């Protein structure tokens, strides 16, 4: 008989769990038959000894089967999903889906909220006045039929076991376990049921894993476990040693996405967008080249896709002109002359997250708080030169000083590429 005690005892002795044992853990998380103490012990054992690929696959499948499966591609036809491991100033998802849709590659994404120092796509999109992000299967299919793209927050029926385990991971210091991260991400990605998934895995100090080897291990595991579960996948490794775009902030990043889709895009951001689009397209047997991306931007087709999606989701008329910045500004200037040597991207992300929630209420976000980032690693700067500008409602010095402390002026360096090999 499979029991919590027996499973935990096997893990303590370093034994590999069978399929039935892994599924028993997940069933216990979903139906409440495993206590928080028992699940916490499982998570700690998994984090300390690791899970092998078979165990990770079974954990993923069990969490997937604990809830609803939308299987969108089975009904709609070929479509891709895109997932980012989270970054700072990361507007890639807001841009990639409308670009792909305008290029004839249908795309869908169930998105999440901010996590730690990383901004969530859902929070950014909710800065659009009136927009609704609740999405069920019928709504996703309708959006795909009308616009070739669908974005939203999933119903509570998807991967309910993961929700309980996810909450306990934060309390048991097991958030950074790669097998647990992979199982959590994929159980929700696979539930959507795309034909293929492309992962944008962030590297550098602003990534989920600052260590490059951990980052590569995560990317490899996401791709291989997804394939083992029956869904082809690919990944892009993108640099997060500095904010990716020119802006950090919920409303500001939506504005930046609109500007990008109007032809005013940062070159580093364009490089990541192009890499993700190319790999996403290949997963469904299509080909999206740089000239195709440039064409749908030049004609306005991609920007219109984003606008049409938002309008369909209840955005107020004229919303593209209503993405305001907070009114109080403060400037970050260079303390000396030299070169931009380093940026503590995680520190900037954490400072921004705090500034967005001045009353510490996680359910109240000031979408207008923003940071404009004006320089790039390796760039020569002069004493007193403006490096960044913050926008808040009060106490600008707090955010300004955090951003200033995160920027190091020093020796000339070779800036890392936006997309790593």
Rounded mean pLDDT for each run of 10 residues along the chain, 421 residues in total: 91 94 96 96 95 97 95 97 91 96 97 69 93 95 97 88 90 90 94 97 89 92 97 96 93 97 95 97 94 96 98 96 95 96 94 81 82 94 97 93 96 90 63
Q: Write the CATH number of the domain with boundaries 328-415.
A: 3.90.1170.30
What integer pLDDT is reported at residue 126 of this predicted model?
Answer: 93
For the question of residue 113 being annotated catalytic, the response is: no
In this prediction the pTM is 0.93
Known active-site residue 214: no
pLDDT at 348: 94
Q: Which of 82, 169, 250, 367 is catalytic?
A: 169
- Between 3.20.20.70, 2.40.160.60, 3.40.1030.10, 1.10.3470.10, what CATH number should domain 72-319 receive? 3.40.1030.10
Q: Indicate if 83 belongs to the active site.
A: yes
- CATH 3.90.1170.30 domain extents, the chain: 328-415
Catalytic residue list contains 162: yes
Give me the catalytic one of 81, 123, 162, 239: 162
- Exactly one of 83, 202, 279, 347 is catalytic; name it: 83
Question: 3.30.1330.50, 1.20.970.10, 3.30.300.30, 1.10.10.10: which CATH number matches 4-65?
Answer: 1.20.970.10
- pLDDT score, position 156: 82
Instruction: Express each pLDDT in 187-219 by its tens digit.
Output: 999 999 999 999 999 999 988 888 889 999 999
Q: What is the pLDDT of residues 372-415, one digit of tens each?
A: 999 999 999 999 999 999 999 988 999 999 999 999 999 889 88
- Which of the residues 106, 127, 184, 281 is marked catalytic? 184
- Give CATH 3.40.1030.10 domain extents, the chain: 72-319
Residues of each domain in the chain carrying CATH 1.20.970.10: 4-65
Q: Which residue has the tokens 């775009």?
A: 245
Q: What is the pLDDT of residue 362?
A: 59
169 is catalytic: yes
Q: Which of 57, 82, 163, 188 is catalytic?
A: 188
């Amino acid at each position: 008989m499979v029991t919590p005690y027996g499973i935990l005892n096997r893990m303590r002795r370093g034994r590999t769990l069978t399929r039935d044992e892994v599924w028993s853990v997940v069933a216990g998380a979903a139906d409440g038959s495993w206590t928080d103490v028992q699940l916490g012990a499982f998570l700690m054992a998994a984090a300390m000894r690791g899970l092998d690929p078979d165990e990770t696959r079974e954990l993923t499948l069990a969490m997937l089967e604990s809830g609803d499966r939308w299987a969108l591609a089975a009904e709609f036809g070929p479509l891709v999903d895109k997932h980012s491991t989270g970054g700072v100033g990361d507007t890639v998802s807001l841009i990639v889906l409308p670009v792909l849709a305008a290029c004839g590659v249908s795309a869908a994404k169930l998105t999440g909220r901010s996590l730690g120092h990383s901004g969530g796509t859902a929070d950014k999109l909710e800065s659009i006045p009136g927009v609704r992000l609740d999405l069920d299967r019928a709504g996703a299919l309708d959006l795909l039929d009308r616009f070739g793209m669908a974005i939203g927050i999933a119903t509570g029926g998807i991967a309910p076991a993961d929700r309980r385990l996810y909450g306990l991971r934060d309390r048991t210091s097991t958030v950074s376990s790669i097998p647990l991260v992979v199982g959590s991400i994929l159980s929700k990605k696979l539930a959507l049921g795309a034909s293929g998934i492309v992962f944008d895995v962030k590297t550098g100090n602003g990534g989920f894993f600052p260590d490059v080897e951990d980052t590569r291990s995560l990317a490899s595991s996401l791709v291989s476990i997804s394939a083992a579960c029956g869904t082809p996948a690919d990944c892009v490794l993108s640099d997060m040693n500095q904010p990716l775009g020119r802006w950090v902030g919920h409303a500001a990043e939506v504005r930046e996405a609109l500007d990008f889709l109007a032809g005013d895009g940062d070159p580093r951001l364009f490089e990541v967008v192009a890499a993700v689009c190319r790999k996403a397209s290949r997963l469904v047997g299509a080909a999206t080249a740089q000239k195709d991306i440039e064409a749908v931007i030049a004609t306005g087709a991609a920007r219109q896709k984003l606008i049409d999606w938002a309008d369909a989701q209840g955005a107020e008329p004229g919303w593209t002109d209503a993405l305001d910045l907070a009114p109080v500004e403060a400037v970050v200037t260079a303390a000396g002359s030299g070169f931009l040597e380093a940026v503590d991207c995680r520190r900037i992300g954490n400072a921004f997250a705090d500034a967005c929630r001045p009353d510490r209420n996680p359910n109240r976000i000031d979408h207008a708080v923003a940071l404009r980032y004006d320089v790039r690693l390796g760039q020569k700067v002069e004493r007193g030169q403006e490096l960044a500008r913050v926008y808040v409602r009060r106490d600008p010095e707090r955010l300004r000083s955090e951003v200033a402390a995160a920027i190091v002026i020093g020796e000339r360096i070779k800036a890392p590429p936006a997309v790593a090999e």
